[in-house]
Amino acid sequence: MSATWHDHQQSVIRPPRVSRREWLRVGGLSWLGLNELLLRGLRHEATAFGNDQTKPAGKAKRCVFIFLFGGPSHIDLWDMKPHAPENVRGIFQPIATSAAGIQLSELLPNLAQQADKLCLLRAMTHGDPVHGTACSQVITGRPHRRPGTTDTLAPDDWPSLSATVMRYGKAVGGMPSSVVLPWYLMFPSQGARIAGQSGGLMGEMHNAFLIDGDPSRADFSVPGIRLPSDVPAARLLRREGLLREVDDVRRVLNEGPRSQLIGDQYRQAFSMISGEQTAAAFDLDREPPATRERYGPHKFGQSLLLARRLVERDVSLVTINWDDETRDEKQSPFWDTHQDNFNRLKKLAPVFDRAFAAFLFDLHERGLLDDTLVVALGEFGRSPKIGQFTQNAATEKTGRDHWPHVFTALVAGGGTPRGHIFGASDRLGAYVADKPVSPADLAATMLTHLGVDPSQRYHAPLLGESFPICTGHPIRDWS
């Protein structure tokens, strides 16, 4: 580092009139990662940023991305094979729905009533059977750089969709453009985020606003969106001088889009913590008790209700990561049904069914579904044959193993056809029979809906190279 830069870092990034504690106490700045960014310095990221071909987002639209961690069984839920052999079709029966020609599992009676709003992508496919790197592929829209090798986050991960939208999406009304809730995916025994859940090669400064908590709890609150009790509004206004310091950073860096980004993010942070309407968006107590009950008194249901409140306020992308009480199980947590597949689905499916059906109904009733693209899927499906060993030796005779070769994404709204099936698996639900869709294609579809050009490039300071945001092709012909 040159002496000149060192002098600038001392005078601009650490203003003598504002201590690190004061920067953090302003309230909410840490959620943008800005405090960390300033303390570690901006040198290489600032000089590299000028190579980005940044294009503004188009008309503000919304997307809700529901990640069903563990990989739900497509055959037992939404791509049933009632005429397949018994060791494939399982024990559940298909039921009629509100959409002609679409059947769902008997485990999903509420969703069956909302099927006229659904488009089932029954030919999702990729080739990675390992949780971590498969999660990464679906969350980022790209195969992991080291497929099948690791479960945990790495600095050279591809950027998550949530981070990409945070970087390129449109922020409205003081709200962040991208929110993740109610946690980052991880296997608790590892204690680290699963791969692909950060800005990765773009830098963690672009991470989405994380709501880490349980919205179903009576004491649920979101830190960083209200002023601390010992910081009156007048003091916040006096901190307007901090924005002038940010402008100093911009002038010193003189790097166009990067310096603009820094100023914009600080202003967004101040806007969030000074706006009552912003704080109100996260307050579920403002919902009628009957509405909260309709979604269900559990973490997933209340997370979806919170997501509805956020899309009402034009948050571009809300990501909901599945979580439930099985998180501490080592063999089969969440939707990872290596053992006792059918009984576990009898517990999991009703929670999803109640909440997701309520969410679709709510979006439709409030006139939000036309502009809100809803996508729900896991990292893969489950093996067609019960007890079939494909990747995990812990799979028992009562379970289904990992199966990335074909699985289903539930899509609704955002101009997609309603009561529709797109693509197909074969007669055993084992491989794609028609119209394959890759995670890259699904990511490109979501980004395009949000007005983000998936073909534009970003610069990766870590590698000194530029990459397209996405390598897939958006689905345009849904016939």
The predicted pLDDT at position 34 comes to 40
DSSP string over 44-73: HHHHHHTT-------S--EEEEEE-TT---
* Vertex 51 angle, CA 50 and 52, to 5°: 95
Provide the residue-wise pLDDT of the chain in tens; the chain has 479 residues. Answer: 333 223 323 323 333 343 444 433 333 343 444 433 333 333 334 333 434 544 444 455 999 999 999 999 999 999 999 999 999 999 999 999 999 999 999 999 999 999 999 999 999 999 999 999 999 999 999 999 988 877 789 999 999 999 999 999 988 888 999 999 999 999 877 788 999 999 999 998 899 999 999 999 999 988 766 555 555 545 544 555 555 555 555 555 555 555 555 555 555 555 565 556 678 899 999 999 999 999 999 999 999 999 999 999 999 999 999 999 999 888 889 999 999 999 999 999 999 999 999 999 999 999 999 999 999 999 999 999 999 999 988 899 999 999 999 999 999 999 999 999 999 999 999 999 999 999 999 999 999 999 999 999 999 988 999 999 999 999 999 99
pLDDT tens by residue, 198-228? 999 999 889 999 999 999 999 998 876 655 5
What are the residues facing 105 on neighbouring strands?
A: 94
Q: Is the dihedral of CA 236, 241, 244, 248 positive or negative?
A: negative
* Vertex 304 angle, CA 114 and 226, to 5°: 150
- Residues contacting 401, CB < 8 A, separation 6+: 338, 382, 383, 388, 389, 390, 391, 392, 395
Ramachandran category for residue 65: left, alpha or beta (phi over 0 → left; psi -120 to 50 → alpha): beta
Report the alpha-carbon distance of residue 73 to residue 54 in Å, rounded: 39
The predicted pLDDT at position 378 comes to 98
End-to-end CA distance of the chain: 57
pLDDT tens by residue, 338-376? 999 999 999 999 999 999 999 999 999 999 999 999 999
DSSP string over 381-402: EE-SSTT--SS-TT--TT---E
Q: Which two tokens stand for residue 125?
A: 């496919």
Report the alpha-carbon distance of residue 245 to residue 262 in Å, rounded: 11
Sequence letter at residue 85:
P
Question: Which structural domains are found in the chain, ordered by start?
Answer: 1-41+223-281 (no CATH), 42-217+284-468 (3.40.720.10)
Q: Is the preceding peptide bond at 289 cis, omega within 30 degrees of 0?
A: no
Helix (H, G, I), strand (E, B) or coil at 121: strand
DSSP string over 292-357: HHHH-SSHHHHHHHHHHHHHHTT-SEEEEE---GGGG-SSS-TT--SSSHHHHHHHHHHHHHHHHH
